[in-house]
């Protein structure tokens, strides 16, 4: 009888060990790809690129959690501005503002995977939220006074202001959500293609009063911010990478 009980126990232990080998407790992933702005954000910035690094903590063969870090960079189209030499008048000349938008993102997601150890192709969906540290950099070779209002630059001067007050670095820490999915190829080492939709709740940008009168200089406004504008933003990256 003891031999029978021992045999049953060893069989169960062996089966449990084999089942445990169906998935690894932790996977590591690294990837790179393109970044595409959406909604009003695409009016201020162009498509860019992203890099990501993450770890997946597997609870079972199909379910787990992912913690990852993503860096993104999107350049902005050069915006032409009208510049005057002094606030009380003068010749109007053409100026230029160059921009870029960067983000450091830390997110935590739940993940469900549909895969079989016997098949080289699998898929997964995921969703969660995180913190988005958004950085906007503005540069310009121009000197003089102008009018600029773009909430996604974190700038809104409806009256004349010196160009050197507009240029510089600005940042914001915001909360956002993301959801999406991907396809994997391989077994122990997997190549993947993934896309997610990100939505970020940004701060409000209100017009900044200027002590200088307007002189009919045109501005680079992309929207009407007379009553304040939100910087809520949406974008989606397309990422190619490897998991192991």
CA distance 31 to 132: 19
Residue with tokens 């993947």: 192
Q: Is the predicted pLDDT of residue 14 greater than 50, yes or no? A: no
What is the structure's pLDDT at 5? Answer: 44
Q: Quick one: average pLDDT of 72-76? A: 96
What is the structure's pLDDT at 159? Answer: 84
Measured distance between the N- and C-terminal CA atoms of the chain, rounded to whole angstroms? 45
Residue of higher predicted confidence among 5 and 36: 36
Q: Is the predicted pLDDT of residue 19 greater than 70, yes or no? A: no
CA distance 93 to 136: 25
The answer to whether the CB of 73 falls within 8 A of the CB of 49 is: yes
| Domain definitions of the chain by residue range | 26-243
pLDDT-based confidence at 31, cuts 50/70/90? very high
**What is Dmax (Cα atoms) for the chain?**
105
pLDDT-based confidence at 221, cuts 50/70/90? low
What is the structure's pLDDT at 170? Answer: 95
Residues 135-185: pLDDT tens digits? 999 999 999 999 889 999 999 988 889 999 999 999 999 999 999 999 999
Residues 93-115: pLDDT tens digits? 899 999 999 999 999 999 999 87
Of 97, 98, 103, whose CA–CA distance to 48 is shortest? 103
Residue with tokens 């995977």: 113
- Considering the domain 26-243, what is its CATH architecture? Beta Barrel (2.40)
Q: How many residues does the chain have?
A: 244
Output the CA–CA distances (angstroms, integers) from residue 238 to 32, 72, 204, 241, in the order listed: 8, 11, 28, 10
Q: Is the predicted pLDDT of residue 116 greater than 90, yes or no? A: no
Low-confidence winner among 5-9, 147-151, 163-167, 223-227 (lowest mean pLDDT): 5-9
CA distance 209 to 159: 7
- Which residues pair with residue 244 across a beta bridge? none
Residues 184-213: pLDDT tens digits? 999 889 999 999 999 999 999 988 866 445
Of 85, 82, 88, whose CA–CA distance to 213 is shortest? 88
């Amino acid at each position: 009888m003891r031999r029978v009980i021992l045999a049953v126990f060893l069989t169960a232990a062996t089966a449990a060990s084999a089942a445990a080998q169906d998935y690894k407790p932790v996977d590591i992933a690294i990837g790179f790809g393109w970044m595409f702005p959406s909604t009003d954000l695409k009016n201020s910035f162009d498509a860019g690129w992203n890099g990501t690094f993450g770890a997946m903590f597997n609870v079972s063969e199909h379910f787990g959690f992912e913690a990852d870090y993503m860096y993104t960079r999107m350049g902005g189209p050069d915006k032409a501005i009208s510049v005057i030499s002094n606030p009380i008048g003068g010749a109007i000349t053409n100026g230029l503002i160059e921009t870029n938008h960067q983000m450091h993102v830390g997110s935590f997601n739940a993940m469900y995977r549909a895969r079989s150890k016997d098949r080289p192709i699998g898929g997964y969906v995921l969703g969660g939220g995180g913190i988005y540290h958004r950085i906007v950099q503005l540069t310009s070779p121009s000197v003089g006074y102008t009018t600029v209002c773009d909430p996604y630059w974190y700038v809104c001067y409806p009256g004349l202001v010196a160009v050197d007050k507009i240029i510089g670095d600005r940042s914001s820490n915001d909360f956002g959500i993301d959801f999406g999915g991907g396809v994997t190829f391989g077994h122990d080492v997997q190549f993947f293609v993934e896309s997610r939709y990100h939505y970020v709740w940004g701060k409000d940008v209100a017009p900044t009063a200027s002590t200088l009168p307007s002189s009919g200089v045109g501005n680079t406004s992309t929207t009407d911010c007379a009553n304040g504008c939100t910087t809520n933003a949406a974008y989606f990256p397309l990422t190619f990478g490897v998991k192991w």
